[in-house]
């Protein structure tokens, strides 16, 4: 017989609960000037009346925003893992494509690995881990929907790579395409795909009296009629004063389209090229705006074509057939990442504007769940008079943290590598700590716990670019500054302003 005990009459301590998401425990100040998070949209795609934009917030969650009525109303999407749990922070969707009840997105995880998401309606997404078909060194540059599933194109080790999938979950890799350095754009109509990329080309240049042969990277187009398994080069000849490489590649109304900048004397414009089958191309139209300097972005869908053109202003032009174009507004200073036309005629232009996500014609601050406020934990004072207090700074860009509560007894802090600190408070009843769910994240989700274990959790204290009310430029509280307290006993220095426009 074996008997085990503590050696004294003290009762056993209860087990220490694990960390839990503490977003709801930290109240927000409604008078704050911003939400503290840097957000962006990286891609947008439309199929019929459904349009989906994807992106991310800095160090936070993956963002999905969708409309099922042609872009008139929008809703924030949700994401879960394939086991039904909340996905880890730091995911960044970069590409999206869909149609026919199937949608897929590709992007990066927090550790730099590749990750996929799938959806049936563009709103409810499931995060999928990718197998050996994707490697850490791969460049995945575009994603399109085909009649058989999905095709992605990119490059690896100086060779073009194509990935294909029937459902967005399991992917097959076609590696080492001969004579292709890399692929960076694609368009699909049925099983026919056309892709843009670069290939090695030998040119002869004169150096003094000698002729020198060099190998350069030239731009080219390739076509596949079997879903991306085999490829043949296609040629889009220069015409009507066009020059340089093609910009953008779209499967639009009646076929495929691309565009080149052009010049006729001092007059500058762009030439639009079209093809019904992706094999034979010809010039079909021109684009020109006041002070024309070049086409910046080119996109579209079966519902029409759209382009952003640099001129006196950054103008948006659109067409139903690629032949006749008309102006349709401007994009100002927005950094355009993707653009398309939704069934019914609405335009969807996605990107970034002054650190905020940008979606043309949509105030995403009014879309429930589309904007999340930053809650950055700063200090956790000692429990007093039966009440526990937690300190947090919310809505502070770049995670600048302001100390808003008086320093209390029992607090311990120590300096850690990279400027990180541990804050905890304690009494006979145990210790409390508060920090971030992700150790290295700039704007991770705050967590809270209580227990007697020796483990510590870390919080962020960094300098903000601008001084906040009641603080110095270093982010420290000025003497005499009064903390702002909101409901629930949680002090907050700032609070949210919708950042998505």
Q: Under 8 Å CB-to-CB from 4, ≥6 apart: which residues? A: none
Last residue of a domain, one of 349, 366, 383: 366
Which stretches does DSSP call E strand in 27-108?
39-47, 50-57, 62-67, 75-76, 78-81, 92-99, 102-108
pTM reported for the whole predicted model: 0.71
| CA distance linking residue 359 with residue 174, whole number of Å | 35
Q: Are 128 and 25 in a shared domain?
A: no
Query: pLDDT tens across 159-193, in order?
Result: 999 999 999 999 999 987 889 999 999 999 988 99
Give the model's pLDDT for residue 206.
Answer: 84
- How many domains are contained in the chain? 2
Q: Tell me the Ramachandran region of residue 474: left when phi exceeds 0, alpha when psi lies from -120 to 50, beta otherwise.
A: alpha
Last residue of a domain, one of 335, 366, 397: 366
Q: What is the 3-state secondary structure (H, E, C) of 432-476?
A: EEEEECCCCCCCCCEEEEEECCCCCCEECCECCCCCCCCECCCCC
Q: Are 271 and 420 in a shared domain?
A: no
Q: Is residue 1 part of a domain?
A: no
Q: Are 361 and 444 in a shared domain?
A: no
Instruction: Give the strand pairing for 485-486 and 50-57.
Output: unpaired
Which structural domain range is residue 449 located in?
20-36+374-491
Q: Are 405 and 476 in a shared domain?
A: yes
Between the two ends of the chain, the Cα-to-Cα distance in Å is 71
Query: pLDDT tens across 226-268, in order?
Result: 888 889 999 999 999 999 999 999 999 999 999 999 999 999 9
Reading the block at residue 357, the tokens are 């996500």
- Mean per-residue pLDDT, 461-490: 41
Contact at 8 Å (CB) between 117 and 62?
Answer: yes
Q: Are 318 and 411 in a shared domain?
A: no
Radius of gyration (C-alpha) of the chain in whole angstroms: 27
pLDDT higher than threshold 50 for residue 145: yes
Give the DSSP letter of residue 419: G
pLDDT higher than threshold 60 for residue 438: no
Q: Are 436 and 290 in a shared domain?
A: no
From 377, 487, 492, select the one nearest 434 (Cα to Cα): 377
Last residue of a domain, one of 344, 366, 388: 366
Query: pLDDT tens across 319-373, in order?
Result: 999 999 999 999 999 999 999 999 999 999 999 998 889 999 999 888 887 776 6
Q: Are 53 and 140 in a shared domain?
A: yes
Q: Are 358 and 461 in a shared domain?
A: no
Q: Is residue 10 part of a domain?
A: no
| CA distance linking residue 351 with residue 346, whole number of Å | 17
Beta bridge partners of 52: 45, 66
Query: pLDDT tens across 38-64, in order?
Result: 789 999 999 999 999 999 987 778 999
Query: pLDDT tens across 480-494, in order?
Result: 443 333 333 333 333
Contact at 8 Å (CB) between 184 and 191?
Answer: no
pLDDT higher than threshold 90 for residue 427: no
Q: Is residue 476 part of a domain?
A: yes
Q: Are 188 and 336 in a shared domain?
A: yes
Q: Are 305 and 408 in a shared domain?
A: no
Give the model's pLDDT for residue 432.
Answer: 53
Assign residue 94 the CATH number of its domain: 2.130.10.150
- Mean per-residue pLDDT, 403-409: 39
Q: Are 319 and 410 in a shared domain?
A: no
Contact at 8 Å (CB) between 187 and 214?
Answer: no
The secondary structure of the chain in percent helix, strand, coil, rounded to multiples of 5, reads 5, 50, 50
What is the rounded average pLDDT for all residues in the chain? 78
């Amino acid at each position: 017989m074996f008997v085990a005990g503590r050696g004294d009459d003290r009762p056993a301590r209860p087990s220490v609960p694990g960390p839990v998401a503490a977003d709801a425990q930290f109240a927000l100040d409604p008078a704050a000037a911003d939400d503290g998070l840097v957000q962006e949209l990286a891609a947008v795609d439309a199929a019929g009346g459904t349009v989906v934009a994807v992106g991310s917030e800095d160090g936070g969650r993956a963002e999905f925003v969708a409309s099922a009525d042609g872009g008139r109303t929008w809703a924030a999407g949700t994401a879960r893992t394939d086991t039904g749990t909340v996905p880890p922070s730091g995911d960044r969707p970069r590409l999206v494509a869909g149609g026919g009840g199937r949608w897929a997105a590709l992007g990066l995880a927090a550790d730099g690995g590749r990750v996929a998401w799938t959806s049936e309606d563009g709103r409810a997404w499931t995060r999928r881990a990718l197998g050996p078909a994707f490697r850490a060194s791969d460049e995945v540059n575009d994603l399109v929907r085909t009649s058989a599933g999905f095709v992605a194109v990119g490059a690896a080790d100086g060779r073009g790579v194509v990935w294909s999938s029937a459902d967005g979950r399991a992917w097959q890799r076609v590696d080492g395409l001969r004579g292709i350095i890399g692929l960076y754009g694609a368009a699909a109509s049925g099983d026919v795909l056309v892709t843009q990329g670069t290939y090695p080309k030998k040119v002869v240049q004169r150096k003094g009296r000698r002729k020198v042969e060099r190998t350069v990277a030239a731009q080219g187009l390739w076509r596949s009629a079997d879903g991306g398994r085999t490829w043949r080069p296609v040629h889009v000849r220069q015409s009507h004063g066009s020059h340089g490489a093609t910009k953008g590649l779209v499967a639009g109304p009646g076929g495929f389209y691309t565009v080149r900048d052009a010049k006729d004397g001092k007059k500058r414009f762009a030439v639009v090229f079209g093809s019904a089958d992706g094999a034979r191309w010809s010039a079909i139209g021109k684009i020109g705006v006041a002070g024309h300097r070049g086409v910046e972005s080119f996109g579209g869908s079966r519902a029409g074509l759209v382009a952003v053109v640099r001129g006196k202003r950054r103008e948006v032009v659109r067409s139903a057939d690629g032949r006749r174009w008309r102006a349709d507004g401007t994009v100002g200073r927005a950094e355009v990442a993707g653009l398309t036309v939704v069934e019914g005629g609405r335009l969807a232009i996605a990107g970034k504007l002054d650190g905020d996500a940008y979606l043309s014609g949509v105030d995403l601050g009014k879309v429930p769940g589309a904007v999340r406020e930053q809650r950055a934990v700063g200090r956790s004072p000692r429990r007093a008079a039966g009440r526990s207090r937690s300190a947090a700074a919310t809505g502070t860009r770049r995670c600048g943290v302001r100390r808003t509560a008086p320093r209390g007894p029992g607090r311990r802090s120590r300096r850690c590598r990279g400027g990180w600190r541990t804050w905890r408070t304690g009494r006979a009843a145990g210790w409390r700590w508060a920090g971030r769910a992700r150790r290295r994240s700039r704007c991770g989700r705050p967590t809270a716990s209580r227990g007697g274990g020796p483990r510590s959790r870390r919080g962020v204290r960094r300098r903000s670019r601008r001084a906040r009310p009641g603080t110095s430029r270093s982010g420290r509280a000025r003497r005499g500054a009064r903390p702002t307290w909101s409901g629930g006993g949680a002090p907050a220095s700032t609070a949210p302003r919708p950042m998505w426009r």
